Amino acid sequence: MDDLSPELKDKLTKVCLCKGISRATLKKAISHGADTLEKLQQATGAGSGSCQGRRCTPKLLELLE
Ligand code: FES
């Protein structure tokens, strides 16, 4: 996977596994103004899966930093 572009890696990397939401989708939402955890979750649906955000919330917060 090392020879893939960063953009392609973002598309292939699922941050929220429950909902299948990629890092690319999350970055796009952030660039469109989702600047808090709540806004990011609302815009993408991340955190609303069966784990209730237990797995993805720390990663969402990292992306928001
Ligand atoms: S991984 Fe995001 S809600 Fe479970």
Tokens 């996977």 map to which residue?
A: 1
pLDDT number for residue 2: 74
What number of other Cβ atoms are within 10 A of residue 25's Cβ?
Answer: 20
pLDDT number for residue 1: 62
Query: Of all helices (H) and strands (E), which one includes residue 27?
Result: helix 23-31
- Residue stretches of the chain with pLDDT short of 70: 1
Domain 8-64 class, CATH top level? mainly alpha
Question: DSSP characters for 2-16?
Answer: TTS-HHHHHHH-EEE
For residue 49, how far is its CA from the centre of ligand 1 (angstroms)? 5
Protein residues whose CB sits closer than 6 Å to any atom of ligand 1:
16-19, 46-47, 49, 51, 53, 55-56
For the chain, the domains span 8-64
Q: What is the pTM of this model?
A: 0.93
